[in-house]
Amino acid sequence: MTMIVKDPDSRIDFEFDWVAAYPGGQAVLASVWAIAPTEADGVAVAAAAHDLMQSTATLAGGVAGHVYRVTNRVTLSDGQIDERSMTVRVEER
């Protein structure tokens, strides 16, 4: 799992590239992002988008010293469902 360090005041894009995992012509049809734990002033998805190969989320906020799990769940063109997660540690930078 990937570990990212984020400042609580930053608003930055993170993405998962799904085409490398599914080179046989699969396409991303749907993408949903989730963050755990959910808390006041915690990391939040400010915006999200996807194309046929990648999914992107703009992450904002977060409480300094807290760690969050950010998960992207996608539905592929053949109906398969997959997900990937990353850990986001929030630190004043």
What pTM did the predictor assign? 0.91
Q: How confident is the model at residue 5, as a pLDDT?
A: 96
pLDDT digits (tens, 9 = 90+) for 4-54: 999 999 999 999 999 888 777 889 999 999 999 999 999 999 999 999 999
What does the block give as tokens for 78? 């053949």
User: For residues 23 and 88, which has the higher predicted lDDT (pLDDT)?
Assistant: 88
Q: Could you tell me the residue ranges of all domains in the chain?
A: 2-90
For domain 2-90, the question of CATH label 2.60.40 is answered with: yes
Q: How confident is the model at residue 45, as a pLDDT?
A: 98
Q: How confident is the model at residue 26, as a pLDDT?
A: 87
Residue of 72, 57, 59 lying closest to 8 (CA atoms): 59
